[in-house]
Amino acid sequence: MDPEIKSALRRELPGLEGTLYLNTGTLGPSPRRVTERLFQLYREWQERGPGNPEVYQAAHAETRKAAERVASFVGVQGDELALTGNATDGINIVANGIEWKAGDEVVISDQEHPAGLLIWLHLRQTKGIRVRIARLSADGRLRNVEEVASLLTPRTRLVALSHVTCMTGLRLPAREITEAAHARGVPILFDGAQSAGQFPLDLRALGCDFYALNGHKWLLGPVGTGALYVSRTALVDLRPDRVGGGSTDQFRYAEDGPLAFPATATRFEFGTRCYPLHSVWPEALAFLEEVGLAVIREESLRLSMLLRRELAAIPGVTVLGPSGDPELMTGMVTCRVAGYTGQGLYEALLKRFGVVSRPVVELEATRFSTAFFNTEEEIAQAAGAVAVLAREAA
């Protein structure tokens, strides 16, 4: 990316000022236009009388326009998308919307975020389901497809995997895994928290049944924004686990009254919300589209490969995750440093060098996120900081 263009983009991201920010995989810095528009919308909502039916109905309508925009961004229709607070909400909606029986199985991976693990442990305790764990390979697309397929049985009710894993940034072959699951009649849910915004998404072409994402990581949107895609076929058997005002299509206040839900993903939306949060989400998408998703993917991957090489050359450092095939790699690099826990390295990098990263406690490692707005100088500084700590610990 042209240095002048990158400098201009960085000026639009105030979260980069005064720090070496390599943690977009946790929270992405929102462009100024997003924050300013959010405050503007919230002030207008309050100043016009938030409880005025015309006002809050109009605010709600704006969120559905935002849903259409987000849906278009990932290649689906607006009524196939439910707006949520984050990806965790979406995963829970799917998990609790299936009528589990004791002995039913879910297939997950050994690199899931707590959002993609805890709900299944909870259902294991409360419903008696069985959790089967696919052991992912960092250097083989086909091996990961075969590993997931090998765990499918007649009792498998769902495959639930991260499209991009939060621990090492491994990108799974989502289309191939979907085909393998569907060949056995098993629906599939992807956690897209680490994929949306890293590269272009076409959920229709991917073919999955459910896809949960959030706006606050690589999409650079506000915290509190998320969405769940539910295919029209999968919608038929997914019952709402929570209901409220706005989620129903028909009901009557009576002891024997009917209750019906719309034949769209909006059945999973209910209650009063902070409407400006979702209404402003398209501002972040517009920022990304101005840069270009292909450019974002290329630049982020280039920087991650650069960081990977520099870290691998440091004595005492072990780089984890994918290394050979660019199709498996993303803008996330995870490493271990001899003499440090993942938490310890994260803390030392932050306190001594101002490097913002994230501990991966499950692997006793530390993760760096290289976004398109990061620079080669920042990569060199981060690698230099790791080198100093590695020498001191030797």
pLDDT tens digit sequence for 265-314 = 999 999 888 999 999 999 999 999 999 999 999 999 999 999 999 999 99
Full-model pTM: 0.96
pLDDT class for 364, splitting at 50, 70, 90?
very high
Q: Which pLDDT value is given to residue 21?
A: 98
Tokens 């995963």 locate to: 91
Alpha helix positions (H), 231-375: 232-235, 275-279, 281-291, 293-312, 342-353
Residue ranges covered by each domain of the chain: 3-30+292-393, 34-287
Sign for the CA dihedral angle at 160, 162, 167, 172 comes to positive
pLDDT tens digit sequence for 183-222 = 999 999 999 999 999 999 999 999 999 999 999 999 999 9
pLDDT class for 351, splitting at 50, 70, 90?
very high
Length of the chain, in residues:
394
- Both tokens of 175, joined, read 């289309």
Q: Residue 19 carries which side chain, given as an amino acid letter?
A: T
Helix (H) or strand (E) holding 229: strand 226-230
If you ran DSSP here, which 8-state letter would residue 51 be given?
Answer: T
**139 pLDDT exceeds 80?**
yes
Angstrom distances, CA of residue 294 to CA of 15, 220, 329, 372 = 23, 16, 15, 11
Q: What are phi and psi of 174, to 5 degrees?
A: -60, -45
If you ran DSSP here, which 8-state letter would residue 152 be given?
Answer: -
Q: Which pLDDT value is given to residue 140?
A: 77
For domain 34-287, give its CATH number from 1.20.1730.10, 3.40.640.10, 3.40.30.10, 3.90.1150.10: 3.40.640.10
If you ran DSSP here, which 8-state letter would residue 79 be given?
Answer: G
Rounded CA-CA distance 320/382 in Å is: 17
Contact 170, 194 (CB under 8 A): no
Q: Mean pLDDT score of the chain, rounded to an integer?
A: 95
Q: Which pLDDT value is given to residue 245?
A: 85
Q: Which pLDDT value is given to residue 323?
A: 85
Q: Once rounded to an integer, what is the mean pLDDT over residues 339-350?
A: 97
pLDDT tens digit sequence for 244-276 = 888 888 888 888 878 889 899 999 999 888 999
Q: Which pLDDT value is given to residue 202?
A: 98
Q: Once rounded to an integer, what is the mean pLDDT over residues 226-248?
A: 93
Tokens 């002048």 locate to: 4
Q: Which pLDDT value is given to residue 246?
A: 84
Q: Once rounded to an integer, what is the mean pLDDT over residues 334-344?
A: 97
pLDDT tens digit sequence for 65-96 = 999 999 999 999 999 999 999 999 999 999 99
Rounded CA-CA distance 98/119 in Å is: 12
For domain 3-30+292-393, give its CATH number from 3.10.580.10, 3.20.20.70, 1.50.10.10, 3.90.1150.10: 3.90.1150.10
